[in-house]
Structure 1
Amino acid sequence: MGKIGDGLDQAAQHVLTRKPPRSTKARVRFLMSRNQNRTRTVAALLGVSQRTVERYLKGDRKNPPGPVDARIDAEVRRLWQPRVRRRAEQRAAAAGAVIVETRARFGFSSAAGSTDDPRMRRITQPLPPDRARELFDAHHAGAPERELERIVAAGLHQAYFQEGGTRADDLDAVELTDVDYCEFDIRG
């Protein structure tokens, strides 16, 4: 996943009502329940053998290696309480309370005489409600990182560069590249 997708997943962690399972056995059992109890699917997801998944389920192996433990943790967090996340995201998007903070290279096309060379900017700005909804929908549909960048750029184009249509009318399109970091705050 890219920096925008990871930022959306990280923001969703703050709206959860219960903590995810902590033991390896419980976390793998949860992943099994979300993947039709297929050890092959979970093994492929984690990059381990089916036998290793079975050992985790039996409790024979309690401490997976660091990279595997990180993958287990990331998958559990991604799949934990999806309805709670969706409701919080929908409320925040409707209220215009999705705040993006990013440091990235922004470039744009505009009228002659203005500089449109891309440059690094740090921007903290609420996204317009329609763009926030579009961003969440694309993320849940598994859109590639480039598509998420396009949606965030369009939202910042509206909210930051044009200030909701009060300035920079001749600014055509904003392009977001070289994302250094991207964090979201879901309030609402």
Structure 2
Amino acid sequence: MGIFSESLDKATQAAFTRPIPKGAPARMRFLVRVEKGSTKAVARRLGISQRTVERYVTGQFQHPRKDLADRLEAEVRKEWQPRVRERARKQAATTTGIVIETRARFGFTAAPGSTDDARVRRITQHLPPEYAARLFEAETAGEADARLRDIVAEGLQEVYFKDDGRRADGLGVEFTDVDYVEMDYS
């Protein structure tokens, strides 16, 4: 998972209305419910034995190793509140859009005589719903993180640098050396 897909996932998790289950047994029971009662499927997902899953479900085991605890939390977060997740994404893709905050190197291709040297900028910008929809479609289709970066770069180019077509006609933006990206559904 790349920096852009992780950021989208964090933005989605911010829309959750309830916290994920706290303890390892509760998290394991949740995954067993998701897998329709199959402890074998949960064991396969987590890379542990079926008997270990059963021991967590019954409460015999309480405290997993650090690596198992991290995998368990990640799997629960993937499945937690699917309707809330879908509703937040749908709203961002149709009405509210998405807010991008990033620090990265931006370079330009523009008319001769302009300053097009790349430099690091910190930008916080609201992108319209059509860019949010394109990001979600690309992520759902399993596109690489580079494709998500290209969509964000195009959105920033049009909205931030070109001011929705009111200036900088013919400007092309290069979006490289991404330090961080944070996204939020507005």
CA distance in 2, matches of 1:155, 1:36: 41
Q: 1:119 to 1:38 in 2, by over 3 A?
A: farther
Partner of 1:61: 61
* Matching residue of 1:121: 121
The offset of 1:152, in angstroms, is 0.9
For 1:16, give the aligned amino acid.
Answer: F
How far apart are residue 159 of structure 1 and its match? 0.9
- Could you say which residue in structure 2 is the equivalent of 1:175? 174
- What 5-or-longer segments of structure 1 have no aligned partner? none
Letter in 2 for 1:130: E
Matched to 2:113, the amino acid is: G
SS in structure 1 opposite 2:181?
strand
RMSD between aligned alpha carbons?
2.1
C-alpha contact (below 8 Å) 1:100/1:182 kept by paired residues: yes
SS of aligned partner of 2:105: strand
CA shift, 1:112, in A, is 2.5
Cα distance, 1:25 vs structure 2? 1.8
Distance 1:123 1:54, change over 3 A: same
Residue 90 of structure 1 corresponds to which residue in structure 2?
90
Residue 110 (structure 1) shift = 2.2
Which letter does structure 2 place at the counterpart of 1:17?
T
- Please give the per-residue CA displacement for 1:89-142, whole angstroms capped at 9, x wherever unaligned: 222332344111011222332222233333221110001221111112222333
Moved over 6 A (4+): none
The answer to whether the 8 Å contact 2:106/2:119 transfers is yes
Contact 2:106 2:118 in 1 (8 A): yes
> In the superposition, relative to structure 1, how do residues 128 and 49 fare at CA in structure 2: closer, same or farther (>3 Å)?
same
2:103–2:179 CA contact under 8 A, matched in 1: yes
User: Structure 2 CA distance, aligned partners of 1:45 and 1:160?
Assistant: 42
TM-score by length of 2: 0.86
For 1:31-180, list aligned pairs within 5 A. Answer: 31-35=31-35, 37-172=37-172, 174-180=173-179
Unaligned runs of 5+ in 2: none
Distance in structure 1 (CA, Å) of the matches to 2:41 and 2:104: 36
Q: Verify the 8 A CA contact 2:97 2:131 in the aligned structure 1.
A: no
Contact 1:161–1:168, Cα closer than 8 Å, also in 2:
yes
The whole-number CA distance in structure 2 between the counterparts of 1:117 and 1:43 is 52
Deviation at 1:44, TM superposition (A): 4.2
Tell me the equivalent position of 2:25: 25
In 2: Cα distance, 1:137 partner to 1:93 partner: 10
More off after superposition, 32-41 vs 7-16: 32-41
Percent identity over paired residues: 51
Contact 2:104 2:176 in 1 (8 A): yes
Q: Is the 8 A contact 2:96 2:185 kept in 1?
A: no
**How many pairs align?**
186
Mapped to 2, the partners of 1:106 and 1:79 lie a distance apart of 36
